[in-house]
Amino acid sequence: MNLTLHRFELPTRHPFTIARSTTTVQRTVVVELEQDGARGFGEATESNYYAASAGAIVAALERARPRIEAHRLTNPAGFWEAMQPELSGSTFAQCALDTAAYDLWGKLRGKPVWRLWGLDLADCPPSDYTIGLDTIDVMRAKLREFPGWPVYKIKLGRPNDVQIVRALREETNAVFRVDANCAWGVEETLVKAAALGEVGVELIEQPLPPEQDDAMERLYRESPLPLVADENCQVEGDVERCGRDRFHGVNVKLVKCGGLTPAKRMIDRARQLGLRVMVGCFTQSTVGISAAAQLLPLVDYADLDGAVLLAEDVASGVRLERGRAVFPEGDGCGVELLAEGGIAN
């Protein structure tokens, strides 16, 4: 295979704020793998929270370049295992390489990845659209900008969280999910969960910081709303810990766990433990969204609006129409790059 690395800076449609940070430009790395005239694409975004800079992602992939380019792709899962010794220190680099390998694999086989896995797109849940933290008036305006979605995720983490959700409820009867991004305490969660349940909130994502893992046992027992792990569920081993009467579900994100290969295993294990499963994303291009969308028939909840949050995309592939995933006719993950980023060699 031939490896090419592209770097992009993706401006967001609006400043995107969660409890701990605001993003206006998302830096990302796109991996391109070429074999036998076919090209596969995968993505990993930069993340300060997970200490994954674009430069570090590129550096990890460059160190592995000789092994990558010496490989002839026949099986993406086998390729992931072969590259594990080279990239085990960077799940973000693993993700970009693994998702590119699946896209290439499907294109070489002449079929979409979901079909090669034997899945049925009739079973796909709708994705939410995320409303980033801001003033109530701005958050209402953001919701009005994307009307008619069946589900909205509302970022919270401020004293007026309940007031925010009540104001947004005046705009729509859609399902609401809320995400505190680790910003709440135990008592705060219980009080807010009771109030949020009264206005039709479906679930709460990551109320506590991950280091308060044991405190989740009390919330699991007493919360009136289901609790879904995000920051607490990063890699495969975390699924087991989340399932020990701490969470009702887990959010699986490809960059956190290292790509589609481990993500599929995490979903299988979550099912064995009786956990609900969400497939999530970062603010990212259609390259990464198209890879994650291959998992849609396997999950209960979808949070795949990362490319919708951008002012400008760099690829085509799976897109969302008011929450419904529209899959392209193409093979693999259906990704085609529309722009040339800075080439990182």
pLDDT by residue (tens digit) across 320-332? 999 999 999 999 9
Where does 2-114+337-344 sit in CATH, by number?
3.30.390.10
Distance, CA of 309 to CA of 11 (rounded, Å): 9
pLDDT tens per residue, range 235-283: 999 999 999 899 999 999 999 999 999 999 999 999 999 999 999 999 9
Question: What distances in angstroms separate CA 121 from CA 59, 117, 126, 130, one per listed residue?
Answer: 37, 11, 11, 23
pLDDT tens per residue, range 17-68: 999 999 999 999 999 999 999 999 999 999 999 999 999 999 999 999 999 9
pLDDT tens per residue, range 69-116: 999 999 999 999 999 999 999 999 999 999 999 999 999 999 999 999
Question: What distances in angstroms separate CA 51 from CA 87, 146, 255, 256, one per listed residue?
Answer: 15, 32, 12, 11
Percent of the chain residues past pLDDT 70, beyond the cut: 98
Distance, CA of 337 to CA of 8 (rounded, Å): 12
> For residue 200, is pLDDT > 90?
yes
Confidence band, pLDDT 50/70/90 cuts, at residue 342: low
What residue segments make up the domains of the chain, in order of their start? 2-114+337-344, 118-330
> For residue 345, is pLDDT > 70?
no
Where does 118-330 sit in CATH, by number?
3.20.20.120
Question: What distances in angstroms separate CA 198 from CA 79, 185, 224, 227, 301, one per listed residue?
Answer: 48, 20, 10, 16, 21
- Strand residues in 57-192 grouped as ranges (E): 129-131, 151-155, 175-179
Do 2-114+337-344 and 118-330 agree at the fold level?
no
